[in-house]
Amino acid sequence: MPDAPGLELIRGEIERDRPGAVLDTSFAQDRATLIVDPGQVIDVLTWLRDTPGHRYTFLSSLHVADYLPAEPRFGVHYELLNRDRVERVRVKAMLADPAGIDEPGPSAGGEGEGPRTDQPDRPQDPPVRQAPRPGLPTIDSCVELFPTANFQEREAFDFFGILFRGHPDLTRILMPEDYVGWPQRRDFPVGGEPVTFTYNERRYG
């Protein structure tokens, strides 16, 4: 992968052709990262793929991180490879959450109630799933550049609610189609019922 000076040289070359496209760089834990303007992410990915001397032609991973409570909240990460040089560079686009922080909905205990706290020994109620808000973070799809992004963008949509504009079939890929909410967001309710292992209960009860 590029070293820190090499990363700055790449930034300078991109800035010459695409002014304002690269907002910052990061070189930490031997990872070279270009932090880019989300509105120009396709321009940067195209430049890295097609420019002679760079040719990062393979997208090995596209994934999302939720940095709540930081703002911008979501980071869309693209891991690009030049397989001839065995070299990797990461592109990161930060997206704000247009819907803000979700408010908890009604729990199983009754309409308008929050989670039950008056019975500490009672098994915890199942998680309250949030209805999706109309505003979702949006970024352009890169499927036309990198076909490997197809299923990865669908997974990012499924778990984080990121809309990839121009994706050919942006539907859930692992969760059921009627599932409500984005289960890998940091504010998604976590809960469930404790598992009772009857073998241990009988033996050590």
CATH number reported for the structural domain that contains residue 152 in this entry: 3.30.460.80
For the chain, first and last CA: distance in Å?
56
Q: Please report whether residue 157 resides in a domain.
A: yes
Q: Please report whether residue 198 resides in a domain.
A: no
Helix, strand or coil for residue 61? strand
For 8-12, the CB contacts below 8 A with 24+ separation are 10/34, 10/48, 10/54, 10/89
Strands ordered across the beta sheet of 87-95: 22-28, 31-36, 87-95, 74-82, 58-66
38 within 8 A of 22, measured Cβ to Cβ? no
- The percent of residues in the chain predicted with pLDDT above 90, rounded, is 63
Domain hosting residue 9, numbered range: 4-102+129-165
Q: Where are the beta strands (DSSP E) in 124-205?
A: 138-140, 163-165
Q: What is the mean pLDDT of the chain?
A: 83
Give pLDDT tens digits for 41-66.
999 999 999 999 999 999 999 999 99
Q: Please report whether residue 185 resides in a domain.
A: no
Give pLDDT tens digits for 141-186.
999 999 999 999 999 999 999 999 999 999 999 999 889 899 999 9
Q: Please report whether residue 171 resides in a domain.
A: no
Q: Please report whether residue 115 resides in a domain.
A: no
Instruction: Write down the H helix ranges in the chain.
Output: 4-17, 41-50, 149-160, 198-204
